[in-house]
Structure 1
Amino acid sequence: MRLTKMFVLLLCVVYGTGLSAQEQVLSKDEAIKMALLNNFDIKVARNQVDIAKNNKGIMNSGYLPSLSASAGANYNRDDSNIEFPGQLLEDGSPRPDQELVKAEAQRYNSALNLNYTLFDGMGRYYTYKQLKEQYQLTELQARETIENTLLQLFSVYFEVARLTENKNVLEQALEISLQRITRAEYSFEYGQNTKLDILNAQVDVTNDSINLLNTLQQLENTKRDLNVVLSRDLNSAFEVDTLVQFIPKLQLEELISQAELNNVAILQSERSLTINEYDIKVNKSGYLPNVGLTGTYGWNLNQSAPSAFFPGTNNETWNFGLGASLTWNIFDGGGTSVRVKNAKIAYENQELVQEQIKLQVERDVQNALAIFENRLNIYQIQEQNVITNQNNFERSKEQFQLGRITSIEFRQAQINLLNAQTNKNLAKYDAKLAELQLLQLTGQLLNIQI
């Protein structure tokens, strides 16, 4: 008897500590906003979109000219001795040697070089189009990441909600079992029952306490899982919203009818097909010539040292030049032809992939709808089952208090109600998750109030 009371007291202390730490309710909208802002996978996806955005800009298009600058300087110093063998002066004496010391010469130059491609067979035009399509494809991939993250978020969020409701149910069961102990003890003191009724009540209290402790532990672990998805402190305390609302049937049917237009996998396959189409045209540009312009503008300064025969000079020049070039790879060994053929095959493969994805999405939508409707029916049945078991429990409680049924029969009615309540909680959140998975397939997960 004393051990049971100590165990119950310990349970109350542990549970009371957990309650004091829970201060705020984390709504579904707040959870979505927090995930969109902090989740690591979403951040990485957004960075990928930024990279694709940079790639599709004019700076990466090949349409802008290239301009380069160059400069140089050279310095020479010569010490030389010039001899004139066999040469005589006017007076008939040998011509003396001439020595040049520290004869310095400098050369300076600078230039601007401009290169611009006027025509490259339309290759850069279709490459530019490809990059724009790649950007839109990356946006769709980021959207897919966000959708998957939100599904992960709510699978954990609803698990927290389910365990929270189960915890409340188990608390009520424990409270009822504790009341049974008190009643059994009073009845034993007045000789109305045996010690066995007290022991049975103590066993039930122990089982209910263990079940509640295990649920509390699962609840804390699942809350940490949710904090990981939200990318915040693992020990952040919060409650969740256990209210669940389902989308009206007519609205859901309308969303399903537009699934092929909005499904992210189908949209990605369409973008990939367009990219493959541009790839064919990019490779065909190898059949056409390239026309380019070049321009130069430069400055040169040569400072030469004096020599034995000439004085030093300074020569400064400015030059400006324009040029045009035409390059036509008339035959490249068949490389361009092979690339075009392979690009066409890749396009045909992408068409097949697109048809396969459409068929798979249609199947997945129908399966998801069937699963959702089945789980929704199960939830409605479980709701009615709770009502039935609640009425049965209340009647059993009255009969037990009047002494018309045994404690074992009363306990069975309590267990039936407990199972019905926990099964209803499971069915409710299973049905909601099935609805969210259906919304993702219709491409409307980010557009619907959850």
Structure 2
Amino acid sequence: MKTAYTLILLFFSFYTSVFSQEKFLTKDDAIQLVLENNFGIKVAKNQVEIADNNQSILNSGYLPTLSGSASAAYNRDDSTIEFPGQFNTDGSPRADVNLNKAEAQRYNSSLSLNYVLFDGLGRYYNYKVLKERYQLSELQARETIENTMLQLFSVYFQVARLTENRDVLKQALQISRDRYKRAEYAFEYGQNTKLDILNAQVDITNDSIAMLTMEQQLINAKRDLNVILNQNLNDTFQVDTIVQFIPELQLEDYLAKATENNVAMLQTEKNLKINEYDIKVNKSGYLPQLGLTGTYGWNLNQSAASAFFPGTNNTTNNLGLNASLTWNLFDGGSTTVRVRNAKIAYDNQEILKQQIALEVDRDIQNAKAIYDNLIAIFQIQEQNVITNQNNFERSREQFQLGRISSIEFRQAQINLLNASTNKNLAKYDAKLAELQLLQLTGQLLNTEF
């Protein structure tokens, strides 16, 4: 038993030296790391960048298009021209004409400029849609960041809770060690039996096992946090265990403005605006389109000499300007159908907005009730720790005086241990409930943690 006891002491001495060398990861440090490294946030930022590219003037249709073309052709002919039945003036047959390596070249180049002066305002409202989609993508990225923040602090507070529980267990283990030493001394002087030593050894073993289990849970929780932070899984650190709650008056102010700041409601407003512009985009099909086209061309033809004509070089420059007006007076009703469907989509978005508003209101009321309940539980658990601490101190005095048994003393110790761990759980549960309430009010990213 003494060998096992020695191994336990060596093990916890090792852990103490390891944890004393850990870096301190503050809440602000964790937020900075997750904003820079988290996979989901990186993807969300890229989506915003895509939407930003889409809303630029280069994707608006307002700029003209310019196209160029060029071509070159080369021909070489070897030909023989015969004149059957033809005679020269002297009566001799007319000789054949041989044309060898008769070369001809042709070069063409042109520029074409096209610009739509008016397209029924479809381009104008499409551009507005792209602007709204960019803002929508920012809201979606914000939602991703908020959800990631909740995930971050859920694990961060898990690490903090397990750290505090480990400290509580460490104190319990130290108390059991002291009790074991006192039991040994008392046995040597004949003041108690071997049973008291055995009971103390059993309690040391149980506390050591609980400590080992807690250490493993803490290591696993830190790995979970490293995944969210996208850093080495085996990086070790200590976290901040101090929790501060937002004043009630400030929270009430947030709740009063929740509808204006809730990210789900803001996204619904953006979608409604996009649907409104979609109706106007489709209505542009009723109006005419006016466009301009400008062309410039350069041509060079070099022809070889023939039997009857000498070779020629022909250079041509041409400039053209064309205006066109197109009005689709009747397209079989397809524009009308698109407008009707766009209006229905708008109505559906209105209905969805009402539904989301009701759900958000419900979620806020539920979250506030849960938060108030958990705050009350935390305050009760704080008082319970004070009560159990006083009970434990009195029990320790009575135990040292020999007025209560080791079993009664152990029960007081267990009660204090349970009260402390329950208080830790209540504290972080209440803080997480507060963060969830802040997310619903749209203030999660505006709060000091």
> Common fold, TM-score beyond 0.5?
yes
Say whether 1:265 aligns with 2:264.
Answer: yes
**Equivalent AA in structure 2 for residue 376 of structure 1:** I
Q: Tell me how far 1:14 sits from its aligned partner.
A: 3.9
Structure 2 match to 1:373: 372
Q: Tell me how far 1:202 sits from its aligned partner.
A: 0.8
Q: Tell me how far 1:6 sits from its aligned partner.
A: 2.7
Gaps of 5+ in 2: none
Q: Tell me how far 1:322 sits from its aligned partner.
A: 0.4
Whole-angstrom CA distance in 1 between matches of 2:2 and 2:65: 89
Whole-angstrom CA distance in 2 between matches of 1:243 and 1:17: 23
Q: Residues 172-196 of structure 1, C-alpha deviation per residue, up to 9 Å, x if partnerless?
A: 0000001111111122222222211
Structure 1 match to 2:76: 77
| Alignment map for 1:285-434 (pairs within 5 Å) | 285-434=284-433
Structure 2 match to 1:248: 247
Whole-angstrom CA distance in 1 between matches of 2:383 and 2:240: 23
Q: Residues 351-382 of structure 1, C-alpha deviation per residue, up to 9 Å, x if partnerless?
A: 11111111111111110000001000000000
> Does structure 2 retain, via aligned residues, the 8 Å contact 1:4–1:202?
no
Q: Tell me how far 1:37 sits from its aligned partner.
A: 1.4
**Equivalent AA in structure 2 for residue 274 of structure 1:** K
> Does structure 2 retain, via aligned residues, the 8 Å contact 1:386–1:417?
yes
Say whether 1:2 aligns with 2:2.
Answer: yes
Q: Tell me how far 1:448 sits from its aligned partner.
A: 1.1
Q: Residues 285-309 of structure 1, C-alpha deviation per residue, up to 9 Å, x if partnerless?
A: 1112221111111110000010111
The secondary structure found in structure 1 opposite 2:253 is helix
Whole-angstrom CA distance in 1 between matches of 2:223 and 2:187: 46
Q: Residues 375-434 of structure 1, C-alpha deviation per residue, up to 9 Å, x if partnerless?
A: 000000000000000000000000000100000000000000000000000000000000
Structure 1 match to 2:147: 148
Whole-angstrom CA distance in 2 between matches of 1:364 and 1:104: 85
Say whether 1:162 aligns with 2:161.
Answer: yes
Whole-angstrom CA distance in 1 between matches of 2:17 and 2:120: 74
Say whether 1:198 aligns with 2:180.
Answer: no
> Does structure 2 retain, via aligned residues, the 8 Å contact 1:11–1:213?
no
Whole-angstrom CA distance in 2 between matches of 1:248 and 1:80: 102
CA RMSD of aligned residues (A): 1.0
**Equivalent AA in structure 1 for residue 359 of structure 2:** Q
Whole-angstrom CA distance in 1 between matches of 2:246 and 2:270: 31
Say whether 1:50 aligns with 2:49.
Answer: yes
Whole-angstrom CA distance in 1 between matches of 2:425 and 2:323: 76
Whole-angstrom CA distance in 2 between matches of 1:2 and 1:264: 61
Whole-angstrom CA distance in 2 between matches of 1:399 and 1:449: 46
Whole-angstrom CA distance in 2 between matches of 1:174 and 1:277: 67
> Does structure 2 retain, via aligned residues, the 8 Å contact 1:21–1:237?
no
Say whether 1:220 aligns with 2:215.
Answer: no
- Which TM-score applies when normalising by structure 2? 0.98
**Equivalent AA in structure 2 for residue 304 of structure 1:** S
Q: Residues 112-150 of structure 1, C-alpha deviation per residue, up to 9 Å, x if partnerless?
A: 111111111111111000000000000000001111111
The secondary structure found in structure 2 opposite 1:247 is coil
Whole-angstrom CA distance in 2 between matches of 1:310 and 1:363: 94
Structure 2 match to 1:32: 31
**Equivalent AA in structure 2 for residue 32 of structure 1:** I
The secondary structure found in structure 2 opposite 1:446 is helix
Whole-angstrom CA distance in 1 between matches of 2:280 and 2:138: 24
Say whether 1:237 aligns with 2:221.
Answer: no
Q: Tell me how far 1:11 sits from its aligned partner.
A: 2.8
Whole-angstrom CA distance in 2 between matches of 1:255 and 1:201: 53
Q: Tell me how far 1:8 sits from its aligned partner.
A: 2.0
The secondary structure found in structure 2 opposite 1:182 is helix
**Equivalent AA in structure 2 for residue 357 of structure 1:** I
**Equivalent AA in structure 1 for residue 139 of structure 2:** L
Whole-angstrom CA distance in 2 between matches of 1:21 and 1:290: 73
**Equivalent AA in structure 2 for residue 163 of structure 1:** L
Whole-angstrom CA distance in 1 between matches of 2:133 and 2:6: 66
Gaps of 5+ in 1: none
Q: Tell me how far 1:20 sits from its aligned partner.
A: 4.2
Q: Residues 53-90 of structure 1, C-alpha deviation per residue, up to 9 Å, x if partnerless?
A: 11000000000000011111000111111111121111
| Alignment map for 1:117-132 (pairs within 5 Å) | 117-132=116-131
The secondary structure found in structure 1 opposite 2:446 is coil
Number of aligned residue pairs: give it.
449
- Which TM-score applies when normalising by structure 1? 0.98
